[in-house]
Amino acid sequence: MRADRMIATLLLMQSRGRVTAAELARELEVSVATARRDLEALSTAGVPVYPQPGRGGGWSLVGGARTDLSGLTAPESTALFTLLGPAASLSPETASAVRKLLRALPGPFRADAESAASAVRLDDLGWGEVGRDRPAAVDVVQQAVIDRVKVRVDYRNRSGDGSTTLLDPLGLVAKDGVWYLIATRDGETDTRTYRMDRVRAVEPTDQPADRPAGFDLAREWRRVVEYVESRRSLVRATVRLAGRHLGVLRDHFGTYLEVVEDDGDRVVVTVAAHTARSVAEQLAGWGAMVEVTGPDAVREELARIGQELAEAYG
């Protein structure tokens, strides 16, 4: 994982003082191009890494070799953990490494670095939606979470109605390419979830944000997922298909797909959505590649969709 490589790269540079992209590539078992991209990413993130051209050159940390992280400035440590934090949510090994690095920081820098490391979570199981581009407002809100300041957000709900709200941003979650903000509204204690692709504008303020005592972004996101799935998974259909298609169908339905039987060649799964029509709409494009064995409500909706298509194009 890239975050693991960046941790290893930083520690190698601290212990050796200067390394070349070729040396990093051999140590980390990656290509020279990959090693160079990682070095450039560290530099872009604000870590004091710079190249020295010519014979005997390479990449060095400003100030020379160090054996711990105490040489990092506050902005540099925040930049590093902003880079590493999201990957830690997907890998226990990376999470462990991040915790160790946090403990190695000087005390005055640790709080901001912890905020940066915990500002974003990644959830790679989708809700049956196509991934979208990262909204530009994500970067602004992420920095507000790290800085612990309130943000003024121009937001459009599902119906398109707009409002401007003062929020205390607590963290961001990317679920299969769709970004969500977890926040409290000014004067309230209950958290709310906002889709970032519905944010039309965001403005950080200089007002300190309120953060509930003991707030944990990962735990709060699990609560959100459980609530959403309890409302959305109301109709479940049983489907037979060739085993080679299982991965594609799983990517489409995400957590709403469960395998019932799998003998390699043929599999039986259940898929779910909030209505029979929605399940049918998501399966109709598969045509004869899938066989829906039940319930009857989903089969009837599939037949209705087929009839509509035949009348329109037959």
199 burial level (CB within 10 Å; 0-12, 13-18, 19+): buried
Q: What is the CATH number of the domain that holds 304?
A: 3.30.70
For the chain, the DSSP string reads -HHHHHHHHHHHHHHHSEE-HHHHHHHHTS-HHHHHHHHHHHHHTT--EEEE-STT-EEEETTS--SSSTT--HHHHHHHHHHHHHHHTT-HHHHHHHHHHHHHS-HHHHHHHHHHHTSEEEE---SS----PPPTHHHHHHHHHHHTEEEEEEEE-TT--EEEEEEEEEEEEEETTEEEEEEEETT--SEEEEEGGGEEEEEEEEEEPP--TT--HHHHHHHHHHHHHHHH--EEEEEEEEGGGHHHHHHHHGGGEEEEEE-SSEEEEEEEESSHHHHHHHHHTTGGGEEEEE-HHHHHHHHHHHHHHHHHH-
Per the model's pLDDT, the better-predicted residue between 119 and 179 turns out to be: 179
Residue 12 has pLDDT above 90, yes or no: no
What contacts 125, CB < 8 A, 6 or more positions away? Answer: 175, 176, 254, 255
Characterize the bridge pairing of strands 290-294 and 235-242. Answer: antiparallel
* Per-residue model confidence as pLDDT tens digits over 61-82: 765 434 345 556 656 666 666 6
Q: Tokens 């979830």 appear where? A: 193
| Residue 134 token pair | 């990262």
Do 279 and 272 form a contact (C-beta atoms < 8 A)?
yes
Kindly report which listed range (107-121, 195-209, 237-251, 284-298) carries the lowest average pLDDT score.
107-121
Q: Based on the domain organization, do 197 and 141 belong to the same domain?
A: yes
Quick check: is 135 in a domain? yes
Amino acid residing at 274: H
Are 14 and 102 members of one domain? yes
Phi, psi of 70 (to 5 degrees): -70, -15
Q: Peptide bond before 295: cis, by omega within 30 degrees of 0?
A: yes
195 lies in some domain: yes
138 and 48 part of one domain: no
pLDDT at 43: 78
pLDDT of 266 strictly over 80? yes
Say what the pLDDT of residue 142 is. Answer: 86
Quick one: pLDDT at residue 76?
A: 66
- Same domain, yes or no, for 6 and 111? yes
Residue 153 sits in the same domain as residue 96: no
What average pLDDT score do residues 104-127 get?
Answer: 63
175 shares its domain with 275: no
User: What range defines the domain where residue 60 resides?
Assistant: 2-118
User: What CATH number has the domain bearing residue 143?
Assistant: 2.30.30
Percent of the chain with pLDDT over 90: 23
Kindly state the average pLDDT of the residues 267-274. 90
Confidence category of residue 58, pLDDT binned at 50, 70, 90: confident
Task: Give me the pLDDT at residue 64, please.
Answer: 45
- Of 95, 118, 141, the residue that ends a domain is 118
- Is residue 240 included in any domain, yes or no? yes
Distance between CA atoms of 202 and 136, rounded to whole angstroms?
Answer: 10
Separation between Cα atoms, residue 117 and residue 98, nearest integer Å: 8
pLDDT of residue 30: 84
Which CATH number do you get for residue 110?
A: 1.10.10.10
Question: Is position 221 within any domain?
Answer: no
Q: Are residues 306 and 280 in the same domain?
A: yes
Same domain, 48 and 101: yes
Examine the fold and report which residue of 70, 98, 118 is the final residue of a domain before the chain moves on.
118
Is residue 222 domain-resident? no
Q: Is the pLDDT reported for residue 27 higher than 90?
A: no
105 & 138 share domain: no
Range with the poorest average pLDDT among 18-22, 54-58, 173-177, 273-277: 54-58
Q: State the pLDDT at residue 66.
A: 44
223 occurs within a structural domain: no
pLDDT at position 67: 38
- Percent above pLDDT 70 for the chain: 70
pLDDT number for residue 290: 93
Contacts 24+ apart (CB under 8 A), 227-230: 228/127, 229/255, 229/256
With respect to residue 59, please indicate whether it lies within any of the assigned structural domains.
yes
CB 154, CB 162: distance < 8 Å: yes
pLDDT at 205 over 70: yes
Query: Does residue 194 share a domain with residue 99?
Result: no
CA dist., res. 4 & res. 164, Å (int): 40
Within a domain: 287:
yes
Higher pLDDT, 80 or 312: 312
Contacts of 120 (CB under 8 A, 6+ apart): 85, 86, 89, 142, 171, 172, 173, 174
Give CA 170 to chain center in angstroms. Answer: 15
Mean pLDDT within 52-68: 63
Q: Are residues 246 and 269 in the same domain?
A: yes
The pLDDT value recorded for residue 87 is 58
Confidence of residue 239 (pLDDT cuts 50, 70, 90): very high
What is the number of structural domains in the chain? 3
Can you tell me the distance from the alpha carbon of 273 to that of 145, in angstroms, rounded to the nearest whole number?
33
Mean pLDDT in residue range 123-143: 70
- Boundary (domain end) residue, out of 215, 247, 263: 215
pLDDT attached to residue 146: 82
Predicted confidence (pLDDT) at residue 51 exceeds the cutoff of 60: yes
Q: Tell whether 15 and 113 lie within a shared domain.
A: yes
